[in-house]
Structure formats: C-alpha cells, structure tokens
Structure 1
Amino acid sequence: MKPLDQALAELLAQATLLPGTERVATFDADGRVLAQDAVSPLQVPPQDNSAMDGYALRCADVAQAGAVLPVSQRIAAGSAGHPLQPGTAARIFTGAPIPPGADAVLMQEDCTALDGGQVRVHAVPQPGQWIRRAGEDIALGAVALQAGTRLTPAELGLAASIGLAQLPVARRPRVALFSTGDELVMPGEVAPQDLRPGAIYNSNRFFLRALLRRLGCEVADFGIVPDRREATIEALRQAAAAHDLVLTSGGVSVGEEDHIKPAVESLGHLDLWQIAMKPGKPFAYGRLGAAHFMGLPGNPVSSFVTFLLLVRPFVLRLQGVHDVAPPSTSLRADFACPKADTRREFLRVQRNAEGGLDLFANQSSGVLTSTAWGDGVVDKPAGQTIAQGDTVRFISFAELLS
C-alpha cells in the first residue's frame, strides 16, 4: 500500500491544467478558477477620500480645541470639491474626495455646527487623520487577483472594484460518474419495505455528484452499472469518450465481483492501487486514453473521505488551483484512541463547546452518520495512539466542502 502523501503527490503530477478557458460575467464567477492575472487598470481608491462624515480642514488652522472655522463648501460622495480656502473647513461625507489643500478630516462627533455657516472643532487634528489615500488598496498596474485563484464573493467584489465586468476562467472539468454493484437501488424506485434481501440505497451517487458540482464540474451521471465485466468495460469506454475524468465508486477491491481493475486495464492502465489510509484503502487511479480515471471504494465513508483527500485536490489542480492542501488546525482531543493502526487514520469528530474534539462512537467505513454528525476529521498518523488531552491535527469539513 502506498502512503497517502506519496499517492497524492503522484496524482497531482498527473493533473495538468485542462485546455481552454472562457469568459464569464463577474456576477456568475463564484467558485470558478481565474485563468489569467487580473491587473488593475486604475488605483483604488482613485483619489484621497474621507473615511468619515465630518469636516476636511488644514491642521495649521486648528492650533487648539475649540477653534471656530467658516464652512466654505459641502462635498458629498460622487462629487469633487474646490481647493480649500485657508482658514476654512469643508463639510465632507464618507467617500468624498479630499479637497486640495486639506490635510485632515475631523469626524462630525468631534465638531459642532454653528449658526451662520460655521463649525466649532473640539479636537486638534493630526495630518492625514481619517483620510484614505489614493491607491492604498490597489495600485495602478498591480495584480489584484492571481491566476489560479478560486473565486469567492470577496474576490468578485475586488474584481468589480477595478472595473472588471467579466473574468477569464478555467474550463469546467467534464466528469463522468457511475456506481457499480448489483446490490444498489436508487431512492424512489423501490419503497424501503419492498427492498429485496441484500439491497441497499445508493448514497454514494448523491454525495459524489454534489461534491463534484461544488468543485465546478460538469457531471454526467451514468447511473448504476451491473457487476459484470462486459458491462463495466462498456460503461468505462462510453464515459471516457467525452470526459476529462471518469469517477466510479465500488468494484475497486479484489473480490470476484470487483471488475473495475481488470476493466480499466483492458482499456488503458492503472498507476495507483490501494492507499495506506483508513478509511479508504481500495483507491485506484489510471488513464482511459485521454481521460483520467479514479476509482473510489464502495463503502460510503471510505468514498467520502477519499474524495475529499484525493479527488478534490486533483480536480482543483485540473482547473489551475495551486494550493490544494487541506487546511488544518491543532485542537485538543477530548477522547482517547489507544490502539495504533498500521494505516494513517481519519477519525470523524465534532468540535465541542469547550474547544475540544469529541469522537464519533462508531468509526466503521459503512456508517455514513459519522460524516453528517461530524464537522471534520482527525488526521491520526500510522503507528500512533491518541490520549485524552493530546493535541491533534483537525481538518474541517467546512473547508473541504466550500
């Protein structure tokens, strides 16, 4: 069995950027991957402006608190003022350009408007006070967003702030998805009380499709393929014809009814087979002509975890994302795990009100409840135990599912 880090490094080495880009409206670019650097055609803000509602003035005109100045002009956001006359103040509002000659802003809470168009200032201003400088956010010609950035609402706002109504983004990966197994039944096709002995509902198909779509993929669902060698070969052949990635669940073990391995080898080749991780040992990677192939275990937790730790970074790298490592934090284990395993384990846990982690009681790879109850996994190295109170590495589902 191959160590997880080594397997992931080999996978990412195969994940070359997909050819082709498209331009989409910035409004519609959430979750897409930027294909080219976004270079700012202007500075942001475009000129010095007020950070507060108040009065723009010259510090030299206010030697002490209590000074009274005539108000010579009023400047609202979206308008431009005139040069400030010495010995006067300008009524100014948040975002309005600083008039030439002014070197500070006093917030209106530190001022009192007087009759006759005057203002009394109750504080001595400091040069630059409450002034947002031109270009302090983004300089002209600066790279505001780098190619390979997976765009979030914050990045969309940043792109809009430099006037970009459209963005060049990586092409969506085209993924063919299917499950194998004669035991699988789709919800809605058979009522629970009518399930035949040995039959189970196909849960993997639902979360895998949702996970792929969250990563920006176009998903073609090939359904459930019977446990027959010929049917598996034909499904793989059709799936590989027009897709960048073929993703399967089930049939990747070594039983007599597991046909994925020989079927893939009859059409292409396998480069990875079995990973030293728990859950998730039976994982496969290979090629079907130009298409990548990834085979996940049939057990739902194994399929879920291997997708997050292996498929997710691979799919992101296909779109040009550079940093695909799962973010992690160090937290306290409020549980004990005294048994060491030869494989690297990923334990489903939940954060508690005391800032520690609780362990789900049943860590079986078939108990999908653990992934819905938990909000992440503890990365437990091979050969190690966990004592209550130990500091452990926690990987949040929220980070992986975003």
Structure 2
Amino acid sequence: MRAWQAPSVPDVPGAAPRPVVHDTATGKPVDPTQGEERAALYVCGITPYDATHLGHAATYLAFDTLGRAWRDAGLDVEYAQNVTDVDDPLLERATRDGVDWRELAASQIDLFRRDMESLRILPPDDFVAVTDEVDRVAEAVAFLQETGSAYEVPTPDAEGDDLYFDVNHPTDAWSLGDESGLDRETMLTLAAERGGDPERPGKRDPLDPLLWRAARDGEPSWDSEIGPGRPGWHIECSVIAGDRLGLPISVQGGGSDLVFPHHEMSAGHAAALAHQPLAHAFVHTGMIAYQGTKISKSLGNLVTVRGLLDDGADPRAIRLALLSHKYSDDWEWFDAELTSATTRLATWDAWASGTSAGHADDAADVASRIRARVSDDLDTPGAVAAVDTAIAGGTACTPELADLIDALLGIRLA
C-alpha cells in the first residue's frame, strides 16, 4: 500500500549525537540501535474509522523526530507502519453509518495520508495494510499451533474455532510482564478495557489474547490454511515487523495505551515465532486530553488535524504546538496552544527572513544545543527553547541553522 509524499529534508553539515530514548520495559535511557549503523523502527498505525486527532498526530510526530535524529546522526533508517484496516471498531462504525467497511477504511486512510503530508511527517518505507497480510498471519498462527503456543477455543457460532495464544507456554525470549512490568491484577483490568476478553470461557488463562477469529456470519473473513477467519490484533504487528524489518528491531513505538496488552502480547508472539525479542526498546508517547478527558474516538472529544487546518491553522503551527510538549508526557490541549504556537512561528519566520539583526558567529552553538536536546530523549521543548533563546539573544539565523531546524524539527521557516 502506498504511503504519502515525503517532505524534503536538508542535508546539514556537522556531527549529531546518537539519540537515546526512554525504554518503557526497563525504565532507563538507552541507545536502541546498540551501536549499529542501522536503525529499525516499527510504529503501530491507525485503525481507520475516524479522522486523525491530535493524539495520533503527536505520536507520529514523536517518531518522525526520532527518525530525523537518527538520520542526522548518520544512521540508515528503516521504518514500517501498519494499518489495521479490518477490526471490530471499524466494522462497528461502518455498520452505524451504513457504509461498506472497505470504503470507510479507504476514505480514512486517504485523509490520514493528507494530514501526515500537511504536518511534514516522514512516511514509512513500508506502509502495510493488514488485509494484504492475512495469508502471512495465518501461516504464523499455524506455526504457533504446531509449536504449542496456540490452541483452539470452542466457538459454536463460527465456522471453526477461535485460536488463542498461550501466555504461559515457555519461550526463550519473553515471559508475561517483561515489557510492561505490570502486576496481574492491572493486566486483567487493562485487558478488559483494551480489546481483550478475559471472561471468555474455554481459555487456559484469562490473559491469553486472540490470534485468529474464526469466520462469523456477516463479518469479513479470508480462507486460509487454518480455516476461514481474520487476524487478531497483536499478531499482525509481530508478523509485519518481523517480515519487513527483521527481529529484533530497534524501537517498537506507539501511544502509552498500547503498553498493555498490545505491545506486551506482540512481543510474546514475536518471541514464540522467531525466538528473538521483538525490540531493543519500547518507546511510548503520552496521552493528550481535551476538555478534561483524554482525547478518544470512543468518547468523541476529538480535536482533529483536519479540523484545525480547515479553520485556517498553519500546519507548521500545529507541529510547533505539539513539539512544545515532551513526547512522553500526558498533557491537555487548549485553544491557546495554537495561538501561542502561531505567535512563536511568526517570530521565527521574521528571524529567518533576516528582518532582525543578529550575530552569525553564535549560530553553530545554537545548532549544537538543538542537536543535543533532540538527541536527549527527543527533548523537543528544549530544542524549541534553544531557538527562542537564540532569537532573544541576538543570534542571526544563518541558512545552515534554518536548515537544521527544518531537518530536525520539521519546521521550514519563511
């Protein structure tokens, strides 16, 4: 599946530090490339049943920043992202709206592409629809059955039985809790809230996740070597990441609401399939609230990228507003965020246009400070502050400094 048009990124002279990021699994800062010259990134993609909201935008912007920092440090970056274009929320929304689920998915994927282009997010090398990977997922689930990591749960209303992953089956690269560090009670609560079915009869362990949903009347399904049906949620990312990038990858990324069960179980599936860890680091973005509650499709309190753009917002200002918050923090969006970012952007544009006097000799030091902040766990607020300080202190914006701001922060100044 095609991604979106890539923005141009200037080549900037100078040596950038190799970035370190916070690994959720260990709670420590790490170089997830482990000194290698290749960086492999997998970020969980959208389920396309509603427009791109600011939570999505902040997540993809964070990992866009990581990719830019890796490239600035001279690394070869490989990036894959999935699209869960068949799943219960999508099917439920299509039924509610009286549209074909394929048409709904296609329209929302197209909107997502346009939003990513507007925000100048670098596209993945592999943008993968789950519906194009059903055969590979089925092969993987068949292997898990053969090796004892998957089992059948009787499903009288389906054409065959659902298949589940046994979280207690021994693997040599994962055990339950390795990635999330959560206690069992918390896991059970989150599983029930985030797409799991801990109360399902017939499972060996309430936490066992679905690998393959057997075909039901009125639901999309595909023929496969394990019978008609469709993939479970977690296995799709394990298979796509392994096939496109090879395991272990450098970073598995996504929002903090994916820590459990999605990333935990994806890591378990990867270990059972490949006898390798899924990733060297699990990196997560914080949640954005609006009107006192986390932005959520299910709650309907959305601030969308498209809505802001349609109201006349400069996409650079949206990007700058998001960059002004630490990627891993939880925070709340207020209308003043965009107002403040628009004012800051105007100041930056005036500075770059040369309408304010300054000293070019200090530009190299500013560039070093920006690079240092971004390489230190993607401290984009610190990088933004470095630009503000340079302007206030009378440093001139040289072409090289403007190019660095474009290359690392994705803000092309006037």
What is the TM-score with the length of structure 1 in the denominator?
A: 0.28
Quick check: which one's strand share is greater?
1
Tell me which structure has the larger Cα radius of gyration: 1
